[in-house]
Amino acid sequence: MKNILSKIQRQTRIRKKAGNVSERPRLSVFRSNKYIYAQIIDKKGDTILGVTEKQLDLKEKSTPTEKAKKLGAEIAKKALSKKISEVAFDKGRFSYHGRIKAVAEGAREGGLKF
């Protein structure tokens, strides 16, 4: 019970910090055991766009970290097409490590600034 409570407290703390960063929308990342999801959410809480790992065209075998990096590049490409160049990174309750870090690096390489 304590573990779940601490995760929720961490998520609330991170979300509050990411939501208070000027007028930039936030890039929210969620990681399940199987897939990874990324959304760009505006100040009101409405989803502007979202990308999942299931939507990517991955013909060759790749590691989950490589898939996450491609997901970050894909969401950056879609965000730039909607004239969004700056976002606040919202990692939620997850530590900035592994697949979460790969999404952030892919988005930075794709042209997003945070």
Domains detected in the chain: 2-110 (3.30.420.100)
Torsion of CA 48, 4, 69, 59, to 10 degrees: -90
Q: Report phi then psi at 46, rounded to 5.
A: -85, 140
Q: What is the pLDDT of residues 59-98, one digit of tens each?
A: 788 899 999 999 999 999 999 999 999 999 988 888 899 9
Q: Are the C-beta atoms of 86 and 113 separated by less than 8 Å?
A: yes
pLDDT score at 19: 64
Helices marked H in the chain: 2-19, 64-81, 99-110
Q: What is the pLDDT of residues 24-56, one digit of tens each?
A: 898 999 999 999 999 999 888 899 999 999 988
What SS3 state is found at 28? Answer: strand
Q: Partners of 31 in the beta sheet? A: 36
